[in-house]
Amino acid sequence: MKISTKGRYALRMMIDLCMHCPGGFAPLKEISSRQAVSKKYLEQIVPSLVRAGLLKTVRGNQGGYSLSRDPGLITVLDVLSAAEGVAEPNTEEEFTGFIWEELDRLEREYLSSITVEDIVSRNGILPEYSI
């Protein structure tokens, strides 16, 4: 699985929301500022995260973005799949196709074992979270 800037920034956005807005909403401008990522770039990432059911949004003065569920239930694979799309391994090679299939399986297994909450708690910062 190739992880682009889009995937990395999507994960950073989800981690930011877990750390700074437990149960609340954050304007994209604040997330952009904290993560040093352009607001325009985040605007391109948000729709895929909303469609995947990972973010919820509220318009208005007190609006913004929030995690749609507990960060302990959102895996790195969920975020990357939403941002990057799901790529299938190239298994057309007669003698080595099994290698790429197994590597893909192991990557997916590993990325689904890590949650947004795991990342934040590993760094020693985990606020109370309620949805």
Q: Mean per-residue pLDDT for 41-57?
A: 96
pLDDT at 90: 63
Instruction: Give the chain's count of helices (H) and strands (E).
Output: 6, 2
State which amino acid sits at residue 56: K
Q: Which residues, at least 6 apart from 1, have a Cβ–Cβ distance to it below 8 Å?
A: 80, 84, 87, 104, 107, 108, 111
Secondary structure element (H or E) that encloses residue 84, with its range: helix 76-84
What type of residue sits at position 46? V
pLDDT at residue 111 is higher than 80: yes
* pLDDT one-digit tens code per residue, 53-107: 999 999 888 789 999 999 999 999 999 999 998 766 666 667 888 888 898 899 9
Q: What is the DSSP letter of 75?
A: B
Q: What is the mean pLDDT of residues 20-45?
A: 92
Give dist(CA 84, CA 90) in Å, integer.
Answer: 17
- The residues that bridge with 24 in the sheet, in sequence order, are none
Q: Tokens at residue 94, please?
A: 């007669």
pLDDT of 54: 97
Task: Kindly state the DSSP code that residue 73 receives in the 8-state scheme.
Answer: G
List the domains of the chain with CATH numbers.
5-122 (1.10.10.10)
Position 129 pLDDT exceeds 70:
no
